[in-house]
Each structure stands twice: as C-alpha cells, then as structure tokens.
Amino acid sequence: MILEVAILDVKPGRESAFERDFATASAYISSIEGYVSHELQRCVEKPGRYILLARWQTLEAHTVGFRTSPQYDEWKKLLHPYYDPFPTVEHYAPVYAQAAVPSPEPKSPA
C-alpha cells in the first residue's frame, strides 16, 4: 500500500469553494483502478492549508493510472486553480503502525 501525501495551500478566501469542489472531484480519483481511499484535512493553525492523504495499491496506480487518465484532467481543471503555490506530492510506504486498543465495556453490577 502506498500513501500519497500532498500539502495544499489554497488561495485566501477560496477555502469554502475549494472544499465544495474537492467533494465533487473525489468521484474522479475514486474511480481509478488501484485506488484505496482518500481524505482531506484542514490545518488548525493555518486555515488555508490542507493535507490530502490518498492510499493506493501501488505507486503506479497513482503516477500512471490516475495521472494519465481523463479523470485527472477533470481533477486538474476543477482543483488546480485554487493552489498557491502548486503542491508538492510525495509517496510513502508503510514502516510501522499502531492503533489504540478499545478498553473493555464496563460490567454492570449484578
């Protein structure tokens, strides 16, 4: 599994429109073979900054499958005008992961 990470700086005052158009553009990325999932999160300290985390089965699913597709052309048309500066995209492979273990339900008195 490959994690695509992109820091997206959106032009001031365009955040709401970007979020709306990102929801629309999500259909383009999710239709690609090898796509697993994606999420967009907004920075708490810098409201115009977002992080896109997309998971792909392989690096090529993103760099070839998506980036050379007609869906990517639509993605670019919709989202690229919002960025300043243009984002840098990097890809990561898993090394280590841990999740919180839920605590057991409290037992009710008998």
Q: pLDDT of 6-30, one tens digit each?
A: 999 999 999 999 999 999 999 999 9
Average pLDDT over residues 92-103: 92
Confidence of residue 110 (pLDDT cuts 50, 70, 90): low
Q: At residue 66, does pLDDT exceed 70?
A: yes
In a domain, 82, yes or no: yes
In a domain, 103, yes or no: no
Helix (H) or strand (E) holding 37: strand 35-42
Q: pLDDT of 27-57, one tens digit each?
A: 999 999 999 999 999 999 999 999 999 999 9
In a domain, 110, yes or no: no
Domain count, the chain: 1
In a domain, 23, yes or no: yes
Which range marks the domain in which residue 46 is found?
Answer: 2-92
Give the residue from 2, 9, 11, 27 showing the smallest Cα distance to 90: 2
pLDDT reported for residue 103? 80
CATH of the domain at 11: 3.30.70.100
High-pLDDT (> 70) share of the chain, %:
97
Give the residue from 4, 1, 8 showing the smallest Cα distance to 29: 4
In a domain, 73, yes or no: yes
Cα-Cα-Cα-Cα torsion 24, 7, 73, 91, nearest 10 degrees, comes to -120
In a domain, 104, yes or no: no
In a domain, 98, yes or no: no
In a domain, 109, yes or no: no
